[in-house]
Amino acid sequence: MARKKAAEEQGPGIVVLYTSLMILLLAFFILLNCISKVEEAKVEAAFQSLMGTFGFQAGGASAVSLNLAKKTTTLSQPINPVDQDYLALRGLAKEKGLWGEVKLLRSDTVKTVAIPAALLFTPDSTSLSPEGKEFLTQVAAVIADREYPITLNGHTDDAAPEEAGGRNNWRLSAERALAVLLFLTERGVKPGRLAAFGLAGYKPLVPNTNPHYRRLNNRVEMVMDARDTSQYLLPEVQRDRKLDFRGFSFDLLGEK
């Protein structure tokens, strides 16, 4: 009898707590959608912090509510191939213990995977390391069967390269991006999908204030643009190359 009475007394409180949590989670994800670009690791850390504030920890009865909360925020299987591959690369980074080192950035239209140069290359060079080749081989296995374009942007920190021979940061960043491009094509990615650019140290992820931040800024970013990938879901013969406007039809590409 006492147990039943205690449960009845706790019931309304649990409902109020769960409702408050759902409202906060909704506000949290609305705020994320308002940000132009977010980092996956920071999103997950903020989510875990919010859940911890409400006392939802692993184990016990709270774990059930935690699982329910996670289910409400889990993305359904995306149709867009860019989103599918982005989620696969996110899982790869976690599986390899590179979560936080390989930066995953996303906005509404662009998905970016920032891979540190320390993982990809031998020190102060443009030669891929064995670890870099292993990681890129797995990346290629994810993206090889697609058609969407990918831009590879090489970045450095703001310090002059230590390697002799007069190579500046522009050339170093460009050659690293090109090295990644060539390796991906060797692993089956179509060359026409890829473009490589060197941006030197002019677009840092974080301020160059300590060795760890400099390490993060030396990177190659793989940028996947999802603004218009619907065309890649249709066979070539189904793509309409004509524009209809007020009863007039215009051939956009002309006859071959």
Domain boundaries, the chain: 2-73, 81-233
What are the average pLDDT values for consecutive 10-residue runs of the chain, which has 256 residues?
52 59 64 57 54 51 43 52 93 90 86 95 93 97 94 92 70 95 96 94 92 92 77 49 55 53
3-state secondary structure the chain: CHHHHHHHHHHHHHHHHHHHHHHHHHHHHHHHHHCCCEEHHHHHHHHHHHHHHCCCCCCCCHHHHHHHHHHHHCCCCCCCHHHHHHHHHHHHHHHCCCECCEEEEECCCEEEEEEEHHHHECCCCCCECHHHHHHHHHHHHHHCCCCCCEEEEEECCCCCCCCCCCCCHHHHHHHHHHHHHHHHHHCCCCHHHEEEEECCCCCCCCCCCCHHHHHHHCEEEEEEECCCCHHHHCCHHHCCCEEEECCEEEECCCCC
CATH number belonging to domain 81-233: 3.30.1330.60
| pTM value surpassing 0.75 | no
